[in-house]
Structure 1
């Protein structure tokens, strides 16, 4: 049986797609899941930025842990492989000294939370990060630090999660945000895979599945 997989970013969600998202077999959201509501409610996977301040904020206190989206999810994906970010620490200390806690790894905190609450925890393989970096070169990115978590998850789903016949859609991806992600190149990377038929964007009035 083919599956319907929707990856929902934290950008603007168009009207009319919530029902389509909630009808999917797998819905993946990010971090604090700001997409929930306008972008439907179903959440099967929460992909988290498991390094630096975003990770600390999610793990501190109980707001993120007790949120509706986290309560219903069965899996937590740590997007940043520890070995990749350990290798980045020294060069970033010279090139971007203001990012002093950027590579701090909090994977163990998410693992403990997952174990205590009966959820599965997965770490996106370092090979995905390296492959994305290599493939982005074709789109002439401006100087950047790392690809966005969204792009890493899209690549991981296309290469390691979606099977033959599965249909992968995106919503809530404006390809803009933190200045040290290569968003212009990422948009072109995504558009190339849409053109190749590997995924699509949910966008009314055509917010429906391909046959």
Structure 2
């Protein structure tokens, strides 16, 4: 088990944290990996890629995305939302059936796109996703409207599986962005875990 884990968010920052991040035993990044190769370093061991909604659709239709350096370097790729079945969703969009992209899960499309890279691809267990959602409810989020952010899910899953004495550092988290996430509840959860000694949040 790693002694120190760095989870790197996508909030823009000019401060160079590369030596701190690259010095960790295990580095988790997600989605477009802001600052990779620059102010947030180059180490990557696990990459979370959101697999629902418009962002994965954009990636699937972009040849350039799949040749990015951090995709080549990571050992593990985690898709946070397990699909209810193995049906690819890209065909649904291309056939013009009219289903909203926000309702589609692209897990199996992304697995197919990632297969040539030879990576270990996994999804979060449904129990982990449910526990993460319940934790946000406990922090005041509306249970009927919770859409956990990729970064929050990465942090929650990390604490769930690592030893209690593991040092977990969060960089590049501002708890702002897309209006569908419960940012106040996610920030409250992080501060609560910091108070308990489970992680260290380094504000941007």
Q: Same fold (TM over 0.5)?
A: yes
Q: TM-score, normalised by structure 1?
A: 0.81
**How far has the Cα of 1:2 moved from its partner?**
4.3
Unpaired runs of 5+ residues, structure 2, are 85-98
**2:158 corresponds to which residue?**
157
CA distance in 1 between counterparts of 2:63 and 2:5 reads 29
**1:72 corresponds to which residue?**
73
CA distance in 2 between counterparts of 1:10 and 1:144 reads 23
* Native 8 Å contact 1:146 1:180 kept in 2: yes
For residues 139-158 of structure 1, the aligned pairs below 5 Å read 139-141=139-141, 144-158=145-159
Moved over 6 A (4+): none
**1:63 corresponds to which residue?**
64
Tell me the alpha carbon deviations over residues 115-151 of structure 1, each in whole angstroms, 9 at most, x when there is no partner: 3211100101111221122122222225734111111
Aligned pair in 2 of structure 1 residues 183, 164: CA closer, same or farther (>3 Å)? closer
Instruction: Please provide the CA RMSD for this pair.
Output: 2.3
Q: Which moved more, 1:162-171 or 1:47-56?
A: 162-171
**1:48 corresponds to which residue?**
49
Aligned pair in 2 of structure 1 residues 155, 111: CA closer, same or farther (>3 Å)? same
Q: TM-score, normalised by structure 2?
A: 0.84
**How far has the Cα of 1:164 moved from its partner?**
4.5
Question: Size of the alignment, in residue pairs?
Answer: 190
CA distance in 2 between counterparts of 1:195 and 1:41 reads 29
Tell me the alpha carbon deviations over residues 41-72 of structure 1, each in whole angstroms, 9 at most, x when there is no partner: 11111100011211111222322111121121
**1:113 corresponds to which residue?**
113
Secondary structure of 2:27's partner?
Answer: strand
**How far has the Cα of 1:186 moved from its partner?**
0.7
CA distance in 1 between counterparts of 2:55 and 2:107 reads 12
* Native 8 Å contact 1:17 1:203 kept in 2: no
Unpaired runs of 5+ residues, structure 1, are 84-98, 205-211
CA distance in 2 between counterparts of 1:61 and 1:136 reads 33
Aligned pair in 2 of structure 1 residues 15, 77: CA closer, same or farther (>3 Å)? same
For residues 20-31 of structure 1, the aligned pairs below 5 Å read 20-31=20-31
